[in-house]
Amino acid sequence: MNSELCFISASELAPRIKKGEISPVEIAEALLARIAEFNERIRAFIYINKDRALEAAREAEKEIQKGLYRGPLHGIPVAHKDIIDVRGLPTTAASKVISGYIAKEDSAVAARLRCAGTVCLGKLNLWEFASGSMEVFGETRNPWNTEMITGGSSSGSAAAVAAYMIPLATGTDTGGSVRGPAHYCGIVGLRPSNGRIGRAGIIPLSWTLDTAGPMARTVADAALLLQEMAGPDPKDPCTVGQPAANFTLTLTDGLKGKRIGLPGSSYFAGVDQEVLQAVHTAVKELEKLGASIQEVDLSPTGYGAASSWTIAYSEAFAFHRACFGRHWGDYTPAFRRKITSAAMLTAEECGTAQRIRQVITAEYRRVLGQVDVIVTPAVSHPAFPVGMPSPLSDMLNFMRPVSLTGLPALSLPCGFTQAGLPIGMQLIGRLWEEETVLQVGHIYEQSTDWHRCRPLLVPGPLPGQTPERSTDKKTVSSKWIMEMAQVQGLDFITSDDAEPIAKLIGPVREHLAGARQWLETVDPTRWPVLAG
């Protein structure tokens, strides 16, 4: 068995498979052996589809030998985040709630990739229902240091790709669930334009923010995967019949004439210095490669995280409410408390979140009328130890505001910390212009060696400086939570849940209150009599 096949990119494997130099069966066997060796340590795969994968690989080999080559993903292994249905395989969403469920048909994503000839090696670990904990199947570990987090919610997808268990994986992104794990694990993750990829057969977290996205070790591989994932879905009314560009065609075009927008220094307050330095060094490299750099103002995005949080979890609560009443104890505490906390928001607060969404969307589109791509860190800090609270509040987030806009955003490696942890930068583009962020990302990637580095997959030393815990103040009482639960008939919420819910919702309400005051200064009502 040739274990070196695990380390070859999909873009490099494809022409060799087509010529018959490499067999899809050999590739599948090599990757399955690597999964068997490392999955217990990394916990990336929930379900390994060994027998069916080998059968599909053999079928792909026969078709190619007969001249029935389907395209560059024919015979290439892929794995899916386990909220994405694959016919005949379990979908667990990393939860006890739907344990035993077997998908009767493919999701739109799985169907398109099956048609392209991919070989599905299995289903990948995640935060419960894309927003809880990983208690059911165990915490996915970061291949660069197994004491560190992988981020969420597409944890297993990022770790499996980074650990060379799979060349391509699917993920979903609501507030950064593709881009965040890509940053922490040193891989490429793309959130495409909303409506680019069909969502039928994917368990929703937020109907208006969710999208599926490709995850890979190189930008070229992500473009290859997006090419087959993209397209209208008759079962998803939110998909748009927007003609898909050939996302791989313009990858190698130069950056001459490309305008890169970099927010001013105030935008980066609170960012880890190693992350900030890596992103600024990457921007200088983009300038050397021919792009022009322009400072841009994105100050209104400060309330984007609270807006995204409110919209996402209000919609998630609506989706899960009936099941909460029947299976409250089957959900992990982390998920049920986070999602029910959104039920404590008022109509006015939810309305404020929607207004912020409109303002931020207009602001990003205004700036992208001046530049081709906006560059920010993907995440403000590197990976931190498993079990430790995030060093920064969820209200300070570079990914959530972008999710509100529906714009495409790419996370790709741009360096490492002194402790050997990956750093990613985020490239944000115009609606339907994924090819631009992919092109900029690819040109940068090919001028560096970050994507060629391999993790050791062993426990590593903890970072020299431990991040401080979030200092968000508790502004909501447990008593108030129980009163709100009683008013809304949420009798499944117990006194044990009230304190954690209060801690979660307090910072959100505080940020929304600030957002409301800010909106009154920039978007005054046209009817003063109603303003009071």
Active-site residue, from 107, 153, 193, 307: 153
474 is catalytic: no
Residue with tokens 């957002």: 515
Q: Are residues 40 and 141 in contact, defined by beta-carbon separation less than 8 angstroms?
A: no
Q: Is 470 a catalytic residue?
A: no
Q: Find, among 78, 75, 77, the residue nearest to 18 by Cα.
A: 75
137-176 burial: b if 16+ Cβ within 10 Å, else e: bebbbbbbbbbbbbbbbbbbbbbbbbbbbbbbbbbbbbbb
How buried is residue 421: exposed, middle or buried, by Cβ count under 10 Å (0-12/13-18/19+)? buried
DSSP bridge pairs for 80: 123, 170
Q: Which of 81, 123, 258, 503 is catalytic?
A: 81
Q: Do the Cβ atoms of 134 and 125 come closer than 8 Å?
A: yes
Handedness of CA 99, 103, 104, 108 (dihedral sign): positive
Active site annotation includes 153: yes
Place of tokens 């599909």: 56
Helix (H) or strand (E) holding 263: strand 259-263
Question: Minimal CA–CA distance to 218: which of 455, 449, 445?
Answer: 445
Please enumerate in sequence order all residues whose Cβ is within 8 A of that of 219, keeping only pairs 6 or more positions apart, or say none.
188, 251, 410, 412, 438, 441, 442, 445
How many Å apart are CA 501 and CA 385, to the nearest integer? Answer: 23
- The contacts of residue 494 (CB under 8 Å, 6+ apart) are none
- Please give the single-letter amino acid code of residue 512: L
Contacts made by residues 15-18, CB under 8 angstroms, sequence distance 24+: 15/72, 17/64, 17/74, 17/75, 17/76, 18/64, 18/69, 18/72, 18/74
- Catalytic site residue from 95, 154, 155, 177: 177
Sheet (strand 409-416) strand order = 45-48, 119-124, 77-81, 168-173, 211-216, 188-191, 409-416, 422-429, 373-377, 259-263, 292-296
Give catalytic residues, as residue numbers: 81, 153, 177
